[in-house]
Amino acid sequence: MEADKDIEILEQRGIKPTANRLLVLRTMCAMGHPVSLTELETVMETMDKSSIFRVLTLFASHHLVHAIEDGGGTMKYEICEGDGRCSLDDMHTHFYCETCHRTFCFKAIHIPEVELPEGFRMTSINYMVKGTCPECSRRDE
């Protein structure tokens, strides 16, 4: 049944389900946090980097994923939770650990809506907090 759900997710966004696209979607869902192209390449040994990148680009253009700069210069991708376009509800706070270089999602901490001057239109927002995660903090004690 899970396979049917994954196919439905892609089809709802106007994406033709292929083996590679389903593999990327399932891998991202299983990882459960924003992932970089390099991270996906490491765990997805059957796909090369350019194929993964093409799938991520397609997913982003169909609003299945959104990209965030992780605070360390790496672009990471996260699955949008809504049924349509990524919304402000998808744009939650992220935390970048400067020690272990992991990115954490704080979905309960939403980014406040920003009132822009007339004529400006927001398409996305990135709110990144940098510091040390609890695991790295304990090791440093």
Annotation: binding site = 97, 100, 133, 136
**Binding site listing for Zn(2+):** 97, 100, 133, 136
Neighbour-count burial of 16, counting CB atoms closer than 10 A to its CB (0-12 exposed, 13-18 middle, 19+ buried): exposed
Contact 25, 65 (CB under 8 A): no
Contact 16, 59 (CB under 8 A): no
Contact 111, 91 (CB under 8 A): yes
Closest by Cα among 45, 37, 128, 42 to 76: 37
Neighbour-count burial of 14, counting CB atoms closer than 10 A to its CB (0-12 exposed, 13-18 middle, 19+ buried): exposed
